[in-house]
Structure 1
């Protein structure tokens, strides 16, 4: 059932199948409400991190960002920034020097003789004591790199020549991109996002936006473990942008005028769900009101317990993993897997995906879907014409079908459409994967992504999409988009409509007709 009382907190997760089981576990901890939404949170951005000169396109590959945002130091961080610059200067110099030596025809051979002993210590540490070695190296790195408190600048500058705090600096922004978002754009994105989630009332005091990413070592396929809705990158920056917009009083005033009232004591908090370790890290805590720190403390405690139970559930799916252990021991085990550079299967990723449920949470809240279903929140009652559903079907649904097809073909033919065994992989020039010393560049997922060592873990099946909406509305959307017709009429997707009026199921046929499905 939907929560009628005000929940302790609301958490918005990506539609990713790995979020399904975590949502189930946190809901079991108490009065929590979870929602599913594409992990870019409806905001396509070109994002430049604070410690990088490269911009990332954080949106589905179907879309092209029109807005640039930058991660910048917070006001008053001058001293910290100076220490950071001093500490990283020598580190960057060393990285560039080592990189040049490795790629020089003569220097690469000298590097082995000069630095071989030094790197052999790291080799032994990462192989024999990977978790301890990871803790030690992380501590040393933090000692050399001074932490700088940052924020994501999202506003269009009033004066591009002299941007203020929180406004996007024009320096380094590619042509064709808008500098941040105007006030009206910010309000529009937040209103569209909340209405698309079906969240227009009963807001909790804490509204957490959980992007997701992975943490692995020695894994050329790490992008396959990050957020598909963010183009194979982590989604924490999108969560920070959405939260920053939603917390603005000016934005809330506009939303209030549009009939969407967000209570004054509701705070949007961005975070990242680490799908390898099952931990959630929150950002921009410097802005969290003192009145909400108790709420966050209670939430963090429940997230720890939920994460431990999620880790134990995952241990039952991963081969050669202890299962007769406590949730706390499982928590420690999955964290150890994340820093084991010899582990070809740090997590399953989206293997096992088989269904996409678009509808209200009450349809699945009491169900254990085994981490196999994409879940997108959607309220058909608030969308009688299907305008919101059309956006879901023409972006997230297509992306999930692509993901499903990638796993399908990699499981059906691991060596033809997949990339074979990781044991034989060699990274070629940072652009692709080769088997052994000579082969074509490989495509698809490696064998270890879909196979547990004995048989296929991923069941090759075409994605089943279940949409809570009337067949007529769904048909009208399909008729407008050729790409949807190609997917459904050629049976790359199986489509079932759940009519919210009579709760009857109807299956869509390749000839664009519907037939009722009797469910026992």
Structure 2
């Protein structure tokens, strides 16, 4: 989810400007997380609230508000320097870009190596040291522990998406009306709303309730907004979730009427009732606290930030060292290299960094296979309702509002709809009556308890009667061709016309630079992930498909690209796909390293002559990929045969005891937009988002604008969520997933009474090097300048340094760093030689940490 930028509105000290509740709530909401329900886990910039500031100023402001660390501990950077991961030339580069004078630069260099265990500690902040905490300390009442458990239970039950057997709200009932009904009409009192001191407040509207409570608790309008912000920052997960639902109710499958204003009203009533019960009606309000001016105030949080320059320099030096490892490998290649033979097959992959290694292994395995990268929705955005789905879901980046609906139906009309899920029936006990439930608990519960005790000591990897995805036969087809121009009730078009299909196919083919020389076989490889012990499953699927597997998009693309009418339109537009070329959809399961080929019933025998060779090469590549991944797992087999390594990654994905089914994007660092020749033959250690792009076919930058519109928010969002979750996992991340419980199918919390955790759990980021994404574009600076002028709001990612960008000249390979002030040539003279090996296995053998970029030189 994205957030629009707004600014805090302040009341003057003289009280001349009256407090405006709606404006205050809009301003407060700007600081709340934008992480949606767990079914739609979309990576995004954790600090979107300060994205309009330069990166280092933004993280400093955020630290002052949230009470978080901004960088790694100083000792970590110093250790990286001693280990050679931070280079001297990178330190020089960082100091030169710190705007220090020559004399100041020498003092700064000396300070870098002085030990200091406290410099990275969180600063004094609104969240931890503001007026609300000072007041609660003064009155000696812990409202957080007394009120929040009540609020969290009410919110979880009201917003529940299917865990509860009965729904708490009545149809079309708002959160405020629901709480008021329960408080006034329940047979048992709803604590603390039954207290006589607040009972009359429930008859008022939320606006009046909020103002009344603020007057009694705070006492002065100048501090109203700050108190509300600090109250919500005590549980940002629930507050942010409510705000997102208010702005977009469609993110819930079971709709609920709730607003941030209603949440604030209910919580303030609970706080007032609790404080009055503990301290009586004459408790000291915030306005009467001594030394208020000494506390951090909302009005000056931005002016009083501190930016530790030596930590900034260390962080910049670390990033430049890591970026330089890749930039040094982009030196001009020898001229006159032999032309490659025409490929027997081409494969489209998502730009996902986990596909980086699979593409490398596939190309190493068979030099007749050519690979391309694109956003994993493959340019086809639509709402998708699967055969067993109750609701349609978006199969496109969350910044796109799809206008088409695609339905899936069964190939065999006589097959019952629920037969597809029969293999999962053993995991669900259908009877819900009191007697049957008691019997099942007593009889089956004992058996499952015994089995769980056994598996604690002898963990098993297989669940009951569940088939592998690759074992499920094709049984459905997609309704892609629109048969009527009548829109649905929601205004969506059911399917696509042939012209619209041609537009989608043409758009992707031109973006990736494949408009001629098609191979006889083109495999469109989507990706998804399956794991058992992982509530964050959507974070492992395709970010370009709104956290869903991209299989429907791959199937749609292949069907459209194979259709004769679509090819005829493309031919008129200058893209002639030979009759002998056939597109096949597939899905790469990134946790199990398995591949599934879809719609086999459509394969014409003559058109897939090269499929067996591709399948064999792909299987070998998957085995090698599984082996390469094992080096990261603490208990994984090191340098084991392919079959043992592959068996291990499968067992990790299916074990209910494994908190690390895969490490996902934990190494992400680079995003390369260019021809495959730019990165072919490079070992990038699964760190690169690879998007295909032919600079010669984009003379005015039109294509690069389209590509960056997806690359910047998707890849940049992934990178920054990993970066900040690694920098301070307790504030920006979700902590360890071991105590996490899924709450209402909305999110996870520690136990049942905690706040919804945002960000990423520690098991996903513990090996991550927190450096900003480096985007390298194979294009001239002049054309990129034209493109950036058309990027709109996305330019703040570049101008403010939330991602770094380098231009690589298509011919000379000259490199230029982008700054808001202009382009700066990258000096490669101090970077040294790029290490080289003959194959990937020679590089990864015995390695359990991040490996620098290598060149692959095949043995002669």
Fold shared per TM-score above 0.5: yes
* Contact 2:343 2:519 survives alignment (8 Å): yes
Question: 1:53 offset after TM fit, Å?
Answer: 1.8
User: Aligned with 2:371: secondary structure?
Assistant: strand
* Contact 1:470 1:498 survives alignment (8 Å): yes
Question: 1:117 offset after TM fit, Å?
Answer: 3.1
Which residue of 2 is the match for residue 434 of structure 1?
A: 749
User: Aligned with 2:508: secondary structure?
Assistant: helix
Which residue of 2 is the match for residue 463 of structure 1?
A: 773
The structure 2 residue matched to 1:154, chosen from 463, 472, 480, is 480
Which residue of 2 is the match for residue 498 of structure 1?
A: 808
Identify if the C-alpha distance between structure 1 residues 126 and 142 changes in structure 2 by more than 3 Å, giving closer, same or farther: farther
Identify if the C-alpha distance between structure 1 residues 262 and 218 changes in structure 2 by more than 3 Å, giving closer, same or farther: same
User: Aligned with 1:208: secondary structure?
Assistant: strand
Tell me if 1:362 matches 2:669. Answer: no
Deviation sequence 1:327-384 (CA, Å, 0-9, x none): 1211111111110111110101011101100000001010000000100000010111
User: Aligned with 2:628: secondary structure?
Assistant: helix
Identify if the C-alpha distance between structure 1 residues 284 and 121 changes in structure 2 by more than 3 Å, giving closer, same or farther: farther
Distance 1:33 1:182 in 2: 30
Question: 1:420 offset after TM fit, Å?
Answer: 0.4
Tell me if 1:130 matches 2:460. Answer: yes
User: Aligned with 2:738: secondary structure?
Assistant: helix
Which residue of 2 is the match for residue 48 of structure 1?
A: 385
The structure 2 residue matched to 1:35, chosen from 369, 372, 377, is 372
Which residue of 1 is the match for residue 50 of structure 2?
A: none
Question: 1:466 offset after TM fit, Å?
Answer: 0.5
Stretches of structure 1 that go unaligned for 5 or more consecutive residues are 161-169, 452-456
Distance 2:468 2:640 in 1: 32
Which residue of 2 is the match for residue 163 of structure 1?
A: none
Deviation sequence 1:363-420 (CA, Å, 0-9, x none): 1010000000100000010111111110111122221111111100110001111000
The structure 2 residue matched to 1:474, chosen from 742, 763, 784, is 784
User: Aligned with 2:816: secondary structure?
Assistant: strand
Which residue of 2 is the match for residue 97 of structure 1?
A: 430
* Contact 1:487 1:493 survives alignment (8 Å): yes
User: Aligned with 1:41: secondary structure?
Assistant: coil
Range with bigger deviation, 325-334 or 355-364: 325-334
Distance 2:807 2:650 in 1: 40
Identify if the C-alpha distance between structure 1 residues 246 and 29 changes in structure 2 by more than 3 Å, giving closer, same or farther: same
Identify if the C-alpha distance between structure 1 residues 179 and 2 changes in structure 2 by more than 3 Å, giving closer, same or farther: farther
TM-score normalised by the chain length of structure 1 = 0.88
* Contact 2:481 2:496 survives alignment (8 Å): yes
Structure having the higher strand fraction is 1
* Contact 1:308 1:331 survives alignment (8 Å): yes
The structure 2 residue matched to 1:12, chosen from 338, 348, 360, is 348
* Contact 1:229 1:396 survives alignment (8 Å): no
Distance 1:86 1:259 in 2: 46
Identify if the C-alpha distance between structure 1 residues 268 and 122 changes in structure 2 by more than 3 Å, giving closer, same or farther: farther
* Contact 1:71 1:153 survives alignment (8 Å): yes
Deviation sequence 1:237-292 (CA, Å, 0-9, x none): 00000111000001111111111110101000000011011121110111111124
* Contact 1:5 1:202 survives alignment (8 Å): no
Corresponding residue pairs, total = 491
Which residue of 2 is the match for residue 418 of structure 1?
A: 733
* Contact 2:626 2:646 survives alignment (8 Å): yes
The structure 2 residue matched to 1:229, chosen from 524, 527, 544, is 544
* Contact 1:72 1:152 survives alignment (8 Å): yes
User: Aligned with 1:97: secondary structure?
Assistant: coil
Distance 2:527 2:805 in 1: 27
Identify if the C-alpha distance between structure 1 residues 305 and 92 changes in structure 2 by more than 3 Å, giving closer, same or farther: closer
Deviation sequence 1:466-496 (CA, Å, 0-9, x none): 0111112212222233422211121111110
Instruction: Quote the RMSD (CA, aligned, Å).
Output: 2.7
Distance 1:46 1:480 in 2: 28
Distance 2:629 2:531 in 1: 16
Range with bigger deviation, 300-309 or 1-10: 1-10
